[in-house]
């Protein structure tokens, strides 16, 4: 996996503050897994936005600077009694997908979309099935695959 300039990939963690009790746990677990996998703390940069709706626009800004090899978008949208969930989750998903396709930069969708707070907590607390580590692994897997594709193109 090649990185920008001084070795090792640079990873952006883009984190929504809304439902921060959830997103904070996901961010910590993602960062911890990246470090466990040999990514230096100085190669991981966190950015924060108000909510999941804001993730696509901020992701676009970050990848347009071309300072990071991958971006991990972290958020949590919990279904309520209105259709607000559908708008926010759909916008985050579609927008982040578009940023990934348009930029060619690996953009990992780490936005929990759950029916209730209990489900979100079960996927975020360190004592549960914290998905933060999984999304970090996805980013590293995409970076590794990109290297394989690039190497094949060079032969």
Provide the residue-wise pLDDT of the chain in tens; the chain has 155 residues: 445 445 689 999 999 999 999 999 999 999 999 999 999 999 999 999 999 999 999 999 999 999 999 999 999 999 987 788 889 999 999 999 999 999 999 999 999 999 999 999 999 988 878 899 999 999 999 999 999 998 887 76
CA distances from 153 to 26, 64, 148 (A): 35, 24, 9
Helix (H, G, I), strand (E, B) or coil at 7: coil
| pLDDT at position 81 | 77
CA distances from 26 to 9, 59, 155 (A): 20, 17, 39
84 is catalytic: yes
Helix (H, G, I), strand (E, B) or coil at 134: helix
Give the integer Cα–Cα distance in Å for 96 and 108: 8
Three-class DSSP labels, 87-110? HHHHHHHHHHHHHHHHHCCCEEEE
Which one of 25, 48, 68, 84 is the catalytic residue?
A: 84
| pLDDT at position 6 | 59
Extract long-range pairs of 139-145: CB within 8 Å, 24+ residues apart. 139/11, 139/34, 139/70, 139/71, 139/72, 139/106, 139/108, 140/1, 140/9, 140/34, 140/37, 140/39, 140/70, 142/70, 142/106, 142/108, 143/1, 143/9, 143/69, 143/70, 143/106, 144/1
Residue-range domain boundaries for the chain = 11-136
Whether pTM exceeds 0.85: yes
Closest CA to 110 of 137, 80, 147, 146: 137
| pLDDT at position 38 | 94
Q: Select the CATH number that applies to the domain covering 11-136 from these four: 3.40.50.300, 3.40.50.960, 2.60.40.10, 3.90.1170.50.
A: 3.40.50.960
């Amino acid at each position: 996996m090649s990185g920008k300039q001084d070795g090792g990939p640079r990873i952006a963690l883009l984190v929504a503050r809304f439902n921060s009790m959830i997103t904070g746990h996901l961010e910590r677990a993602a960062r911890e897994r990246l470090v466990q996998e040999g990514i230096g703390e100085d190669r991981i940069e966190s950015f924060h936005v108000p909510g999941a709706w804001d993730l696509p626009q901020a992701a676009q800004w970050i990848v347009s600077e071309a300072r990071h090899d991958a971006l991990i978008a972290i958020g949590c949208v919990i279904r309520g009694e209105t259709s607000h969930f559908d708008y926010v989750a759909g916008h985050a998903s579609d927008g982040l997908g578009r940023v990934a396709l348009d930029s060619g930069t690996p953009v990992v969708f780490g936005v929990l979309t759950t029916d209730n707070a209990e489900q979100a907590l079960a996927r975020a607390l360190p004592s549960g099935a914290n998905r933060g580590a999984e999304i970090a692994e996805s980013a590293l897997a995409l970076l590794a695959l990109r290297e394989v594709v690039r190497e094949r193109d060079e032969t």
